[in-house]
Amino acid sequence: MAMTPDEFYEHALAATDDAHRLPLARMTGWEISPFEQEGLRVTPLRPPVVPEPPRHGEDPAECGSCGRRDEGIWFNERWRLTRVKEVGVPLVLMLHPREHYDMADLPDELAAELGVLNTHLVRHIQALPHISRAHVYRIGDGGAHLHIWFFARPEGQTQMYGSWLPVWDDLLPEYPANLADADAEQVAEDLIKSAGGTRTAAGATGAPTA
């Protein structure tokens, strides 16, 4: 059984200094870290908040993703794909179920489709010129409606390997929107060919195929 919130907090406090600051993470010493360790310090550890505040969209009636179920660059009856704008890496896409589900309550049929769509999207993103890797993330702390992130890592930028890529994305200047739009359109067209679907919500039919 996991520690209680208070037990976990006390456990973590044992490793802090007098200001409740933990030591720098080992990750900050990696050569791919966007930060130099000198002058860097950790935010003081705060006590637990229980119960946790609700996430956005816990109530489907107030869920922004549900309200945008017909917005995106690709659709089928159950899923939609959007491009996240104003990012620093070449392309960030987000996959959403059109109905209100989180990961834990996703029906098995949709869970199977999610696995297929994840694979197809990674395949198509990595097929774009000058893209080396497609990173896939599911966090879930901010929004209750399932959303899967796809980050395209630019070719040759080995300093942006691994788990630091979203941080680099936040530091980089905004990537040219016209280039990102063109690549997003290419991914959407390739996804239609490989997994079905359509470019408009009104015409969304068919299920993903393996």
For the stretch 116-153, pLDDT in tens is 999 999 999 999 999 999 999 999 999 999 999 999 99
CA distance 135 to 112: 19
Single-letter amino acid code for the residue at 92? V
- pLDDT reading at 205 higher than 80: no
CA distance 158 to 132: 10
Predicted TM-score (pTM) of the model is 0.93
In the numeric block, the tokens 């549900």 are attached to: 66
| Closest to 66 measured CA to CA, from 94, 100, 96 | 100
Strands of 49-145, DSSP E: 74-75, 79-83, 91-97, 131-137
Compute the Cα dihedral for 151, 157, 162, 163 and give only its sign. Answer: negative
Q: Is 6 exposed, middle or buried (0-12, 13-18, 19+ CB in 10 A)?
A: exposed
Confidence of residue 207 (pLDDT cuts 50, 70, 90): low
Confidence of residue 203 (pLDDT cuts 50, 70, 90): confident
For the stretch 45-89, pLDDT in tens is 999 999 999 999 999 999 999 999 999 999 999 999 999 999 999
> Mean pLDDT for the chain?
95
Average confidence (pLDDT) over 145-166? 97
For strands 91-97 and 131-137, give the pairing.
unpaired
Task: Provide the 8-state DSSP code for 68.
Answer: T
- pLDDT reading at 170 higher than 90: yes
